[in-house]
Structure 1
């Protein structure tokens, strides 16, 4: 890994789950972190715990003004921006024939539009200040469909293609953009699935490693993608799924 000390990062969705694991890794490497999330109470806790090294910024990633303000506050507080980790996401699930327009828009806006706006404004700063590296968290579902997940899977597939397009456009400005595609990870977002014994077993049957990942097992690959060890890695999607993709997705329809 490169010498991270003195670097500055933004993590969207950084108050819990994969985002929080990335935040911890960044802090442990001496990186100043701006955590963007809607959980204001949790952001205040993190600021108190890591005074001087972390700021919490209440941010709706689907609102361009919020993202602009996030980048500006990060730069004003820490003097720059070197890395962006765009993790924020959630899903409102339904079969395609039952999916409401409102729930489709919520999922696609949060998972795809939020990444677009984040990359746009992170890269705007980076291209004027020597470059940087961005990691967008997509999902195994960018490659593998799932019942009740058309909006989520489509949005995450969009994140992977957005990442490739951003890498194509931004390489000339010394900005690398890559995607991380997690499989099943034990987070608050997946708790409703993994707490259901039948669903949990169906997942484990398809995952050759027979378990979900810990969020910290996503943080390591994310850190690799911004490190000097990945200096020639650009525009790729790194699948981190315990070999799940090679085995196929479980049929969740029987549980609903």
Structure 2
């Protein structure tokens, strides 16, 4: 995707997993990247490895002042902002009747509010400077519920609708907003499940391709959505799941 060369991007949650893979793809495409994460040491490591091309910003995406600072640092360091990838997310699982309000708020705030705040301030800059493209990372669970994942699934469904609403509002300002919905991806966040043989087998029964995706397989579609090849794609939800959506979600209740 050579048409990305010379552009400037923000990636939240960029120090690990899907976010990290997106950062690597962007760097390979000659894009300068502001990486937002809470992992201070990893951010320093990434800055040192890509001097002049990466800035690391310790960011809590649920804090509006952190997002405002992130956008300003990006502009100050690189002179603008063309793309944004809102990836940061995590979950505290629990059955609906047992889940604490604290765990619900943690999950929904991080996965939905964090995307809202990021999108708000990224788009505010883009609106005043000619436009841009934004990709939000939701999940297959925006469509498919899972045991003990009510907070996560609800938040990711919210991300998908937020994306559609943003596309509707921002198209007039030359800003495209799309989302990818990953299925099972092999990252540190999913290893607690997939490292258990019986649970991993239950997943494989539902994934026609019979394997988890890898983060780079999510990064490719994400970069496509900001590229000129997707210039008429706006408000779309791209499922990247090895055909999982055409099967179903494993019954994890028997493992809990």
Question: TM-score scaled by structure 2?
Answer: 0.99
Aligned length: 256
Give 1:137-148 correspondences, 5 Å limit. Answer: 137-148=137-148
CA offset at residue 245 of structure 1? 0.6
Give 1:73-88 correspondences, 5 Å limit. Answer: 73-88=73-88
- Residue by residue, what CA displacement relative to the aligned partner does 1:128-176 show, whole Å, maximum 9, x if unpaired? 1010000000000000000000000000000000000000000000000
Q: CA RMSD in A?
A: 0.5
Q: Residue 11 of structure 2 contacts residue 84 of structure 2 at CA under 8 Å; is this kept in 1?
A: yes
Residue 117 in structure 1 maps to residue 117 in structure 2 = yes
CA offset at residue 188 of structure 1? 0.7
Give 1:58-97 correspondences, 5 Å limit. Answer: 58-97=58-97
5+ residue gaps, structure 1? none
Q: Residue 2 of structure 2 contacts residue 29 of structure 2 at CA under 8 Å; is this kept in 1?
A: no
Match of 1:164 in 2: 164
User: CA–CA distance in 1 between the matches of 2:122 and 2:228?
Assistant: 19
Q: Residue 12 of structure 2 contacts residue 35 of structure 2 at CA under 8 Å; is this kept in 1?
A: yes
Match of 1:248 in 2: 248
Secondary structure of residue in 2 paired with 1:36: strand
Q: Residue 2 of structure 1 contacts residue 229 of structure 1 at CA under 8 Å; is this kept in 2?
A: no
4+ residue runs over 2 A deviation: none
User: CA–CA distance in 1 between the matches of 2:243 and 2:69?
Assistant: 39
Match of 1:44 in 2: 44
Match of 1:188 in 2: 188
User: CA–CA distance in 2 between the matches of 1:162 and 1:179?
Assistant: 10
- Residue by residue, what CA displacement relative to the aligned partner does 1:186-241 show, whole Å, maximum 9, x if unpaired? 00110101101111000000000000001000000000000001000000110000
Q: Residue 2 of structure 1 contacts residue 227 of structure 1 at CA under 8 Å; is this kept in 2?
A: no
User: CA–CA distance in 2 between the matches of 1:4 and 1:239?
Assistant: 23
User: CA–CA distance in 2 between the matches of 1:254 and 1:169?
Assistant: 44
Give 1:150-161 correspondences, 5 Å limit. Answer: 150-161=150-161
Q: Residue 115 of structure 2 contacts residue 136 of structure 2 at CA under 8 Å; is this kept in 1?
A: yes
Question: TM-score scaled by structure 1?
Answer: 0.99
User: CA–CA distance in 2 between the matches of 1:17 and 1:191?
Assistant: 11
User: CA–CA distance in 2 between the matches of 1:178 and 1:233?
Assistant: 8
Match of 1:212 in 2: 212
5+ residue gaps, structure 2? none
